[in-house]
Structure 1
Amino acid sequence: MKLYYMPGACSLSPHIVLRELGLPFELERVDTKSGKTERGADFRALNPKGYVPVLQLDDGRTLTEGPAIVQYLADLAPEARLAPPNGSFERAQLQAWLNYVTSELHKSVGSLFNPSMPAEWRQATQQAIGARFDYLSSRLAGGGFLTGPRFTVADAYLFVVLSWTSHVGLDLARWPALKAFVDRVAARPAVQAALRAEGLA
């Protein structure tokens, strides 16, 4: 398998999951502005959407969208228990968290990277994010992870989105439970390995 990524982007989530699972894979960095991979391939031929992550299987098929990729990976090594079994209520709960992170956090936090965002819009977005962080803090106040005591693919995704906050003017000191969650996930050996491989640690 090959994961097409940009350092620190949402592609870091499947990168972490691949390392947590111990699956063999290659990495290929992408420059989405030029539309080229580090080996000079046309990235849009792989993903016409133009963004990472893309997981390319050994038979050439590709899968896009981080939440789909991390669930696919988790199901390749179910013994690692990074996702509950398909068809279970617990799997639906995991999917609910993945949907929450992608729709309520990823897009809103990610939008703050836009330097041309109008000040009023930025302030309103930050307020909305604050309310969502309040909710997450209540969920994570006792320690542990989104679905309970076990780390799952949803935690890898949340970790990545929360890691962006220091770059967009959001201070997690206001939410100690979220800061503790980030530190807890960052300490995992697979996470450290992924951060080093992407030049982030």
Structure 2
Amino acid sequence: MSPILFYGVPEGCSFGSIVALEWSGVPYRLCRVEMPEAVSGADYARINTVGETPSLLLEDGRTISESMAILHHIGARAIGNGLGFAQGSADFDRLNQMLAFLNTSFFKAFGPLWYAFEHPLAPEEKQALMAYGIAGVEKAHHTLERLLGGREWLFGKGPSLADAYFVGIARWNDFHKVVDRRQFPGLDRLYERMQQEAAVRFAHAIEHRLEAKSSGGFRGEVDLAEALGLLKQAA
């Protein structure tokens, strides 16, 4: 059995894990999880008790949740091609630091905007929440621009797990129409460069159910019922 990545739509941060799997060359399958309906349902709770995506079902029946854990697992399988690094090495620590910023400050900045979008609120409450969210997103972009430091990629001399995770979150800015990314020239160039990556085009096509051409180890999609059956067999 190939690992199965459970990815959330629409606009799930699991997008970055799809990109990373494509880059890794590791054989894998995908399972689509509609948000907020299926992701909060009893069936998916058997995969992830927190009710969030992504999750990764491994060949031995174990499941991994949380983007950072999944990305590091993928990286560990792809150390030979430079996608991951040995734990304790300087490269691992620097990559982990960048992923941690993306997973905390950059990700959480959009939280108030998603809450305002998904929940009925009084006009004044929504306005206050939106203002708070916009300020946070602007600050996170300024910080990440400094961390990029004029380089082409967030880490190293080529695309990394950090860039994969970045592109899945950065697109939320386009959804919520918060900042003009051109104010942050380094991030703007990085975002546009990532759109040309075959793995990113593949992930977009998968999410929108368009014809998707894999350049990695994609072995097809399974539905949630089939994935749960495989989980039971592995147990």
- 2:155 is aligned to 147
Q: How does 1:17-28 map to 2 (within 5 A)?
A: 17-28=20-31
How many residues align? The count is: 199
- 1:200 Cα offset (Å): 7.5
TM-score, with normalisation over the residues of structure 1?
Answer: 0.89
> For each residue in 1:82-116, what CA deviation from the matched residue of structure 2 results, as whole angstroms up to 9, or x when unmatched?
22221112211111111111110112214312224
Q: Which moved more, 1:83-92 or 1:64-73?
A: 83-92
Larger Rg: 2
Q: Secondary structure at the match of 1:68?
A: helix
Larger relative contact order (Cα-Cα within 8 Å, sequence gap ≥ 6): 2
- 1:128 is aligned to 136
Answer yes or no: is the 8 Å Cα contact 2:23–2:199 preserved in 1.
yes
Q: Which amino acid aligns with 2:18?
A: H
Answer yes or no: is the 8 Å Cα contact 2:110–2:136 preserved in 1.
no
- 1:5 is aligned to 7
**Distance of 1:181 and 1:55 partners within structure 2:** 27
Out of 175, 182, 185, the residue aligned to residue 173 of structure 1 is 182
Q: Which amino acid aligns with 2:76?
A: D
**Distance of 1:183 and 1:36 partners within structure 2:** 30
**Distance of 1:22 and 1:122 partners within structure 2:** 40
Runs of at least 5 residues in structure 1 that lack an aligned partner in the other structure: none
**Distance of 2:201 and 2:43 partners within structure 1:** 30
* Alignment root-mean-square deviation, CA: 2.2
- 1:95 is aligned to 96
